[in-house]
Amino acid sequence: MTACGSTHREGLKAARLLMVLSSISPLFILWAIRGNSLIADRYFITFCALMVIVPNAFLLLRIWTARKQADRRELTVGTAEDHRDHLLVYLFAMLLPFYSQDLGNWRYLGASFAALAFIVFLFWHLNLHYMNLLFAALGFRVLTIYPPANGNTLTSNTRQAVITRRGSLAPGDRLVAYRLSDTVYLEAGE
């Protein structure tokens, strides 16, 4: 806490990093299908498979752990926004350019991995670790909720990303959700 306001530092850093990696796992599926002329398929496909399996397994483990430990919060909606447009930005800004990138020499491959590292850092730093095609494929929406103006102490001034099957949330709605990170929640019963 500072004198001029609150500073919120997101916890669960390793969890957030692995959730970001799970969000970019479709890129590794595309790369595995496409192949690479520099690295033998058995190594390249194994690497790509690990980059899909490990982060997504961690995400499922995080959901399971939150449920098992009853790591739930009751959230009250002040306002809610649907950010399906973020998914489109994600697809067009990240997946398509990287898929079309030439990985045929070491310099291009290195540049692609450096650019990917920058994107991972930005997703992690900007708390965009909820961007995951797996959620969309399973019929979930990601809604950003802001606390009510009445000063709800649980949610403070921090916005929350809620993964839910609901189409919308109205001001005043209360929901119980499992905590995946300090700002990302999965609605209970989902």
Confidence label for 4 from pLDDT (cuts 50, 70 and 90): very low
Residue 163 φ then ψ, to 5°: -95, 120
d(CA 156, CA 30) in angstroms, rounded, equals 40
Confidence label for 8 from pLDDT (cuts 50, 70 and 90): very low
Chain segment 25-50, per-residue pLDDT in tens: 888 888 898 888 888 999 999 999 99
Sheet of 79-82, strand order: 72-76, 174-179, 184-187, 160-164, 141-146, 79-82
The answer for residues whose C-beta is within 8 angstroms of residue 144's C-beta and 6 or more apart is: 80, 81, 83, 159, 160, 161, 162
Chain segment 75-131, per-residue pLDDT in tens: 988 888 887 766 666 666 666 666 666 777 888 888 888 888 888 887 777 767 677
Q: Which amino acid is at 170?
A: A
Question: Structure pTM?
Answer: 0.75
